[in-house]
A and B are shown apart, each in its own frame.
Chain A
């Protein structure tokens, strides 16, 4: 759908403008003495021009009868998945790697196919054990201990 591509191009335009403004604030400098904002400003400017060209191109094209890019997409499922990951990040250092990852794995193993609980628990424990054994015991990688203490 044309409108969706217009919104996408509009997003890049806004991002580019914001970049230019921030780069100007950082000091663009001169060609003789480029400042920290030099490259971001010019990259942002080119992006502004390209977004405008893309916007105009999309706006003037014949409207196609193509389906929406969101047709058939379970947006709720995707949002829950992303939220689960963000929650994992937020709680990782508090709950610790083992507990946090265990909870996430249980969620993920049931996310696509609702496997029975004993399958989910077994798969979660096995994956966690393998990862812990390899990364922590063998490779001595530090992972957050959290409330469990290890």
Chain B
């Protein structure tokens, strides 16, 4: 097969010592960047871009790509250990990952995240190799109405994420949408809810919000009363997932990978949306749905697989059409252009060694990341043995630095503290954070898609049902919303605690 011949050529390129070195460097930096707060893969790539000017384009892209998917591996570490997501795509990993760590099973959680990411990443690359062109055709048919309907479907999926009532989940989603509108409206240019603060003109940053809602609020919860030292010094049981874990997670891995891959191709929020959807789908299909959020290993496997396969799938529109799927891909596009390589339909024919070299290096990169991350599990688990009264100030420092260094602005730190208090109250009164986060992240894209669609259709909502892909998304959403209310289809929404126990 021609693909295999091309891939073999790609491996010849990727296995050259210099390219192997750059791949390793990218993966290492990516992992560190994923673990450390505030330094996203975009920042790391922009810092290192000038360093790549004197190397061949293939090597440059190999390293930059390594940073990106390496960051996905690293992001899950802090989610599991200290309940602080490395980036938005790791938010869902916090829910069960952190509970597993508290129960002494951090090793299993970290191991499952690493192995799951490896499997999903590898499958994602296989997908990239085999099915890139036809899938891109489908992705190209996604216009504003399709995006709007897909986001609405994503919002409906939110209701499956909530451990308390559906109404509360939807309330948090509305709150997330509202907070997402803070800042400057890109269409009209007017400022919304900025209260005259210049720092709010770009809206509230995701990092302060997430660090506050998850990190600071958790610290506040732990400070409530005298710390029971037993809780934080649980015996560590095993460093890797057990056979039982693997058996439980086999479908979570498959479903997470497929969902991540399909949603990752779509521009805008691919990895974030896919991790939320994968978690919700897993919860929906699980016979132990009500235990999600208490430390289910499937709750780690599904979102981790999804965000890694989505990270690989995000390369597809870039390499085949020259369309960046997210900010990181836009940076890579810039890097490619600087190096004189224009991505697009002609990339494969004009620069086959770049395309296949990068694809082959991804296989190698995934292996490197697994090898890098597994031995580190032992080290991370030791970190958990540090007494909480010592660890807490370090976590606070971590959060303060992380939020400050994004824009060198104390306002970001201030917002983090505000959202920390908000998150604490939300936890006390049992309003879940994940629906808020998803709506907050998707809100701007949802609004943009809605406005564009209404402009195209001249105010008619019919456009959402006359276009087939959009109609299908809305129909699925409607079915998902109504089905739990119809007794014949199972009645009670899976995963919901029985209302009278509230």
Interface residues in chain A, defined as those with a beta carbon under 8 Å from any beta carbon in chain B: 4-5, 8, 12, 15-16, 19, 22-23, 26-27, 30-40, 43-44, 46-47, 50-51, 53-54, 57, 64, 69-70, 72-74, 77-78, 81-82, 85-86, 88-89, 92-93, 101, 104-105, 108-109, 111-113, 115, 123-124, 127, 131, 135, 139, 141-143
Neighbour of A54 across the interface among B168, B389, B405, B450, CB < 8 A: B168
**Would A142 and B408 count as touching, CB distance under 8 A?**
yes
Q: Which of B174, B185, B404 has its CB near the most chain A CB atoms (within 10 A)?
A: B174
In Å, the complex CA distance between A115 and B396 comes to 18
Contact of B130 with A by CB under 8 A: no
In Å, the complex CA distance between A5 and B389 comes to 32
Collect the chain B residues with CB atoms within 8 Å of residue A64's CB. 502
In Å, the complex CA distance between A8 and B388 comes to 31
**Would B459 and A26 count as touching, CB distance under 8 A?**
no
State how many angstroms separate the Cβ of B64 from the closest Cβ of chain A. Answer: 18
Neighbour of B459 across the interface among A30, A101, A142, A143, CB < 8 A: A30
In Å, the complex CA distance between A38 and B429 comes to 29
Interface size on B, residues (CB 8 A): 61
Contact of B136 with A by CB under 8 A: no
Collect the chain A residues with CB atoms within 8 Å of residue B408's CB. 142
**Would B454 and A53 count as touching, CB distance under 8 A?**
no
Q: Given A22-B193, A74-B225, A108-B393, decide whether A82 and B410 contact each other with a Cβ distance below 8 A.
A: no
Q: Given A39-B181, A81-B220, decide whether A26 and B192 contact each other with a Cβ distance below 8 A.
A: yes
State how many angstroms separate the Cβ of A73 from the closest Cβ of chain B. Answer: 5
State how many angstroms separate the Cβ of B76 from the closest Cβ of chain A. Answer: 21
**Would B410 and A92 count as touching, CB distance under 8 A?**
yes
**Would B405 and A135 count as touching, CB distance under 8 A?**
yes
State how many angstroms separate the Cβ of B452 from the closest Cβ of chain A. Answer: 10
**Would A89 and B414 count as touching, CB distance under 8 A?**
yes
In Å, the complex CA distance between A43 and B181 comes to 10
State how many angstroms separate the Cβ of A105 from the closest Cβ of chain B. Answer: 5
In Å, the complex CA distance between A111 and B227 comes to 11
Collect the chain A residues with CB atoms within 8 Å of residue B39's CB. 139
State how many angstroms separate the Cβ of A90 from the closest Cβ of chain B. Answer: 8
**Would B396 and A46 count as touching, CB distance under 8 A?**
no
Collect the chain A residues with CB atoms within 8 Å of residue B414's CB. 86, 89
Known: A43-B178, A47-B174, A86-B414. 4 other contacts (CB 8 A): A36-B188, A40-B192, A105-B393, A113-B389
23 A-B contacts, Cβ less than 8 Å apart? A22-B192, A32-B459, A33-B455, A33-B459, A36-B190, A36-B192, A38-B450, A46-B170, A46-B174, A50-B170, A54-B171, A69-B429, A74-B223, A77-B224, A82-B417, A89-B410, A89-B413, A109-B389, A109-B390, A111-B223, A112-B389, A113-B227, A127-B393
Collect the chain B residues with CB atoms within 8 Å of residue A44's CB. 174, 178
State how many angstroms separate the Cβ of B217 from the closest Cβ of chain A. Answer: 11
In Å, the complex CA distance between A85 and B174 comes to 29
Collect the chain B residues with CB atoms within 8 Å of residue A77's CB. 223-224
In Å, the complex CA distance between A93 and B168 comes to 39
**Would B417 and A39 count as touching, CB distance under 8 A?**
no
For B186-205 the 0/1 string (1 means CB < 8 A from A) is 01101011000000000000
Q: Which of B188, B393, B404, B454 has its CB near the most chain A CB atoms (within 10 A)?
A: B393
CB-nearest residue of chain A to B409? A93
**Would A112 and B225 count as touching, CB distance under 8 A?**
no
**Would A127 and B394 count as touching, CB distance under 8 A?**
yes
Q: Given A32-B459, A88-B400, decide whether A72 and B225 contact each other with a Cβ distance below 8 A.
A: yes
**Would B429 and A4 count as touching, CB distance under 8 A?**
yes
**Would B429 and A5 count as touching, CB distance under 8 A?**
yes
Collect the chain A residues with CB atoms within 8 Å of residue B488's CB. none
In Å, the complex CA distance between A104 and B452 comes to 48
